[in-house]
Amino acid sequence: MIFRQLFDATSGTYTYLLASRRGGEALIIDPVLEKVDRYLQLMRELDLKLVKAVDTHLHADHITGLGALRDRTQCITVMGEQSGVDVVSMRLADGDRLGIEGLSLDVFYTPGHTDDSYSYVMADRVFTGDTLLIRGTGRTDFQNGDARAQYESIFGRLLKLPDETLVYPAHDYKGDTVSTIAEEKACNPRLQVTSVDEYVALMNGLNLSNPKMMDVAVPANMRQGLAQAEIARRGWAVTAEQAQALLGCRDIALIDLREKSEREKHGTIPGALHAPYADLRENITPGGMLHELAAATGKRLVFYCAFGERSAMAVQAAQDAGLATACHIHGGIAAWRAANGPLAR
C-alpha cells in the first residue's frame, strides 16, 4: 500500500494520500488548496491516478483543495450527506463504504466538531478529521458544533475501535503525527472525564478565539464552483422534467455513472445502462462501450449521477471525445427524485 501523510504548515493540516499500488487509483483526504501542485506532482511521480478527493468536514482554517483537484484531474469529490458544499459529487452516510481500486474505508458519521464531520476507518487505522486529535479534540463552539454529540462520536464510536488502531487526525499543532486509540484513551486530557456532562462543561469552557482564516475559508469552502453550471450554459443539460419526457424514447441511451452501492441505496432510472464514472475515459474513447454504442445506434447519450457533478464532467469528456450530442440530467438523481421521476431498485 502507498500511504503518505502530507503537511500544510500554515494551517497545521494533515492530508493523506492512499493507493493500493504504484500505477493504480488514489484517494486523497483533506487536501489544502495551496498544496494542490505538490499533490499532483507526487501523484505523477508515483504514477497514481486520483479518483476521489474527500473532506472529512467543512474546514474553517484553510481553503479546501477539492475544487482545484476536481478541475485538474476530474476526480470525484466526496463529503458526508449533511454537506451543503456545492462541489461535492458524492455524498456518503454512516455505514457506507468509500472505495477505490484495492482499498475500502468504512464511513463513520462522527458529528460534534461540526454537524458534517466524518471519520474513515481503514483496516489498522482511522482518519478522524477534527473529531479526535492527538491529545486533543476538535472545538465544538461554531459551525453547528455540539460537545454532547462529539462525546458520543468519540466515546460511543471511535474509542470502541481496537486499542491498537492508529489515529491519523486532520490537524496537529505540536508536531505529533500519529497516535493510537489506547494512547488517546489513556493520555488525551480531554478524554479523562467521567460523564458526558463533564465533557460538555470542559468544551464549553475553552473560550477559543476564531481561526484566523475562518471568514475567508468557510464561504470559499461552501462555494467551490459547480462543474454543471458551465455545462448548462453550453446547452448540454436537460432538466429532470425534460429527461422524464425522454424516458422510453428509442434514440437516447440513459447512462448511470454512479457506483453500484449508490444505485442500490437510492434506486436508478428504469432502463438506464450502468457505466461507472471511474471507467468513463475508456468507455468514451474509440473502441469503448459508450463510444461504440453511440456510433452503432446513433443514440444520444444522456448521462446522470447523484447530483449532476460527475455527469457534467462526463459530458465535457464525451464532447471532447467527439460525441457531439451527449448531454446530462442537471441535478442528477436528486433532481429526478424531486421531480417525482420513477425509480427502480
- Confirm if 25 and 51 have CB atoms less than 8 A apart: yes
Q: How far is CA 229 from CA 192, 269, 328, in A?
A: 49, 23, 12
The span from the CA of 52 to the CA of 28, in Å, is: 6
Which residue number, 154 or 329, has a Cβ lying nearer to Fe ion?
A: 154
Q: How many residues of this chain bind Fe ion (CB under 5 A)?
A: 1
Residue 309 CB, shortest distance to Fe ion, in Å, is 23
Question: Would you count residue 146 as binding Fe ion (CB under 5 A)?
Answer: no
- Could you say whether residue 116 binds Fe ion (CB under 5 A)? no
Orientation angle between helical segments 66-73 and 36-45, nearest 10 degrees = 40
The answer to whether residue 96 forms part of the interface with Fe ion (CB under 5 A) is no
| Phi and psi at residue 321, to the nearest 5° | -85, 5
Q: How far lies 294's CA from each of 56, 254, 301, 317, 325, in Å?
A: 39, 11, 7, 14, 9
Closest CB 281 distance from Fe ion, rounded Å:
34
Contact string (CB under 5 A) for Fe ion, positions 171-190, x = contact: --------------------
Contacts of 314 (CB under 8 A, 6+ apart): 255, 257, 277, 280, 284, 303, 305, 326, 328
* Residue 25 found at the interface with Fe ion (CB under 5 A): no
Which of the ranges 127-135, 145-153, 298-306, 327-335 carries the binding residues for Fe ion, by CB under 5 A?
127-135
- Nearest approach in angstroms of CB 129 to Fe ion is 7
Which single residue brings its beta carbon nearest to Fe ion?
A: 130
- The correct pick among 96, 130, 259, 309 for binding Fe ion (CB under 5 A) is 130
Residue 18 region by backbone torsions, left for phi larger than 0, else alpha for psi between -120 and 50, else beta: beta
Specify the stretch interacting with Fe ion by CB under 5 A; choose among 23-31, 46-54, 125-133, 255-263: 125-133
Min. distance of Cβ 211 from Fe ion in angstroms?
8
- Contact residues: Fe ion, CB under 5 A: 130
